[in-house]
Amino acid sequence: MDHFLYRDGALYAEDVPVAEIAAAVGTPFYVYSSATLLRHFRLFDEALAGMDHLVCYAMKAASNQAILKTLAQAGAGMDVVSQGEYLRAKAAGVSGDKIVFSGVGKTAEEIRTALSGGIRQFNVESEPEMEVISAVAQELGQVAPITIRVNPDVDAKTHAKIATGKSENKFGIPIARARAVYAHAASLPGLQVVGIDVHIGSQLTDLEPFRKAYEKVAELTESLRADGHDIRRLDLGGGLGIPYTRSNEAPPLPVEYGQLIKETLGHLGCEIEIEPGRLIAGNAGLMVSRVIYVKSGEDREFLIIDGAMNDLIRPAMYEAYHDIVAVTEPAPGIESLAYDIVGPVCESGDTFAKQRTMPPLVAGDLIAFRSAGAYGAVMASEYNSRPLIPEVMVNGDQFAVIRARPDFDEMINRDTIPEWL
C-alpha cells in the first residue's frame, strides 16, 4: 500500500495534489510520502515483535537526510556501505550504536571514521578486510565489533545484477570456510566477534531462498558456538521484493518474512538485525515528469518526456519495469493508446517503456513513475549536463523541497580550468 491515490480526478501525494508540487518546483522531480515510509518500516518492526531485534534501513535505497531522520525518529537503525553514507546517517542524528557498516571494499579511512564516530558493527567481507579493521582499531585503542558475512551459495532467483548469495558473487566468504575464518578473527587483537551476517540478494519474491540461507546460518551458529565463539547477533540483510506492477502476484509480506525468521532462527536466542531498503522506500516515492512532445514514428507513437535515464536509470540498467500513470485520472471508458515512453538523452537506452498503454496524452501533461522511491534519486547523475532533479517530501497536507535542483552556474562552476588554459 502507498499514499499516492486519485481524488476527484487528480493524483495526490497524501493530501497534496501532485500537480501543485509540479507547479511549485518544476519537472521532473521525486516526491516521497512520509506516511508510506513509516508504514513500511513499522511492518518490519512489528513482524519481529517478541524477538530482540533492530530494523536497520539500507540507506543505499534512498539516502536523503529527511528520509533518514523520518525513519530514525521511528526507531530505525541504518545500514551503510560507504563513508559518505555513514556521515549522512550521523548528520541525520543517528547514533553510532545503531549504524551497521556493510560493503566489500571498506578503506582504512572509512573504518577509522566509523570507529571514531561510533559503530554498532562492521559486517566483514574478507580476511584482508578483517586484518585492516583490527589494525585500525588497535591504532585507536579500540576493539571493533564485527560479524562475518558468509556466502551460503543460495540462488535468490532474482536479476543477475542484484544477486549476492551465490558462490560466484563477490560478497562474503564461502560458508564452508567460515569456521577457519572465525578462528582467524578470534586471534586478531583489535576485533570482537559478535555474530554472523548473510545477505543473498535484492527484489526477492519468494521466501524459499531465505529459508535455505537461514537454515544454513542456524547450523553455522551452533558450530561456531561449539568452537567457543560468542554468537549473539544475526544480521540477515534485506532483499524482500516489492510489486512494481499493480497486476503482479504480490511478494511475501513482512509478517510472513518475520514468521520465517522466527521458525528458522528463533530457537538460537540471538538478536536479529534486518536491513530492508527497497520495501521501505520503493513504493514511498514517485518520479513525476512532463510530456514535451508526442511524436509519430513509422509504426508507433512516442511520448518524449523531460525525465531521462540519468534521472531514473533502473529501466536502462536492469530492464526494470515501473508502472507509469497519468497525473490526471483518465475518464471512465476512455480508449488507451500504446506509446514508447522515452527521455531526451541522446541514447537509445533512454527508453522507459515500449508500447505501454496510456490514456491519450498531449504536450504539457504530467505522468508519474510509481515505485521510484528506491534506487531512483540515489543513482541519478548529471549526464548530458542535466541538473539533478529535486526531491520533495510530503507529510499530510504539507510538502517541502528536501533537495533543490542546482542551477547551471552551480554545475558549471564546479569545474576548475588549469592555469595553462
Domain stops at, among 280, 303, 336: 280
One-letter amino acid identity for 234? L
Is 333 inside a domain boundary?
Answer: yes
Q: For residues 256 and 357, state if they share a domain.
A: no
Grade residue 163 by pLDDT with cuts at 50, 70 and 90. very low
Report the DSSP pairing between strands 29-33 and 391-395. parallel
Cα–Cα nearest to 298, from 236, 265, 340: 340
The reply to whether 353 falls in a domain is yes
Last residue of a domain, one of 221, 249, 280: 280
Same domain as 198, residue 158: yes
Give yes or no for a contact between 78 and 114, defined as CB atoms under 8 angstroms apart: no
Q: Are residues 186 and 228 in the same domain?
A: yes
What SS3 string covers 138-165? HHCCCCEEEEEEEECCCCCCCCHHHECC
Structure confidence by residue, pLDDT tens digits, 201-255: 777 888 998 999 999 999 999 999 999 999 999 999 988 888 776 555 578 899 9
- Across residues 187-202, what is the average pLDDT? 93
Give the residue among 59, 65, 61 at the shortest CA–CA distance from 78.
Answer: 59
pLDDT at residue 166, as a whole number: 45
Domain identity same for 215 and 317: no
Look at residue 257 and tell me whether its pLDDT is greater than 80.
yes
Task: Give the pLDDT confidence score for residue 167 in this predicted structure.
Answer: 45
In this model, does residue 158 exceed pLDDT 90?
no
What's the pTM?
0.93
Question: Among 280, 303, 320, which residue terminates a domain?
Answer: 280
Do 62 and 196 fall into the same domain? yes
pLDDT at 292: 98
Q: Is residue 150 part of a domain?
A: yes
- Write out pLDDT tens, residues 46-92: 999 999 999 999 999 999 999 999 999 999 999 999 999 999 999 99
Task: Tally helices (H) and strands (E) across the chain.
Answer: 12, 21
Share of the chain above pLDDT 70, in %: 95
pLDDT of residue 190: 98
Residue 385, class by beta-carbon neighbours within 10 Å (0-12 exposed, 13-18 middle, 19+ buried)? exposed
Tell me whether residue 354 is exposed, middle or buried, using C-beta atoms within 10 angstroms of its C-beta: 0 to 12, 13 to 18, 19 or more: exposed
Residue 132 has pLDDT above 60, yes or no: yes
Q: What is the Cα–Cα distance from 25 to 387, expressed in whole angstroms?
A: 13
Of the pLDDT bands very low, low, confident and very high (cuts 50, 70, 90), residue 169 is low
Check if the beta carbon of residue 276 is closer than 8 Å to that of residue 58: yes
C-alpha 150/C-alpha 220 separation (Å) is 10
Judge if 237 and 114 occupy the same domain.
yes
Looking at the domain assignment, is residue 420 inside a domain? no
Report yes or no on 304 lying in a domain: yes
Task: Tell me: pLDDT of 168 over 70.
Answer: no
Say whether 346 is catalytic: yes
CA distances to 210, 310, 341 from 383, in Å: 37, 6, 19
| Contact assessment for residue 330 and residue 359, using Cβ atoms and an 8 Å cutoff | yes
Same domain, residue pair 66 and 164: yes
Q: State the pLDDT at residue 250.
A: 75
Q: How far apart are CA 317 and CA 67, in angstroms?
A: 25
Same domain, 317 and 216: no
Contacts 24+ apart (CB under 8 A), 377-380: 377/30, 377/62, 377/64, 377/285, 377/403, 378/60, 378/61, 378/62, 378/63, 379/313, 379/314, 379/317, 380/310, 380/311, 380/312, 380/313
SS3 408: helix
- Angular region, 172: left φ>0, alpha ψ -120 to 50, beta rest: left
Q: Identify whether 418 is part of a domain.
A: no
Catalytic choice (1, 160, 250, 346): 346
CATH code, domain carrying 12: 2.40.37.10
Quote the domain boundaries for residue 380.
4-31+282-412
314 and 260 within one domain: no
Among 153, 143, 141, 139, which residue's Cα sits nearest to residue 122? 143
How many folded domains does the chain comprise?
A: 2
Give the pLDDT confidence score for residue 248 in this predicted structure: 52
**CA distances for 90 relative to 85, 103, 239, angstroms:** 9, 18, 24
| Residues 140 and 119 sit within 8 Å (Cβ to Cβ) | no
Is the confidence at residue 159, as pLDDT, over 70?
A: no
- Residue 393 pairs in a beta bridge with 32, 400
pLDDT higher than threshold 70 for residue 285: yes
Q: Which of 100, 181, 114 is nearest to 142 (CA)?
A: 114
Shared-domain flag, residues 184 and 75: yes
> Minimum mean pLDDT among 61-70, 146-155, 236-245, 409-418: which range?
236-245
Residues 168 and 246 in one domain: yes
pLDDT above 90 (res 137): yes
CA distance from start to end of the chain = 56
Confidence band of 170 (pLDDT split at 50, 70, 90): low
- Residue 96 pLDDT more than 70? yes
**Is the domain of 241 the same as that of 340?**
no
How much is the average pLDDT of 177-203? 94
Q: Which residue has the higher pLDDT, 14 or 247?
A: 14
Q: What is the CATH number of the domain that holds 85?
A: 3.20.20.10
Per-residue pLDDT tens over the stretch 333-367: 899 999 999 999 999 999 999 999 999 999 999 99
Which tens digit of pLDDT belongs to each residue from 390-399? 999 999 999 9
Q: Is residue 163 part of a domain?
A: yes
How much is the mean pLDDT over the chain?
A: 93
CB 51 within 8 A of CB 390: no
Q: Residue 15: which pLDDT band, with cuts at 50, 70 and 90?
A: very high
Query: So what's the pLDDT on residue 164?
Result: 44
What pLDDT shows up at residue 239?
82
Query: Is the pLDDT score of 152 beyond 60?
Result: yes
Q: Residue 201 domain-assigned?
A: yes
Identify the three-state secondary structure at position 214: helix
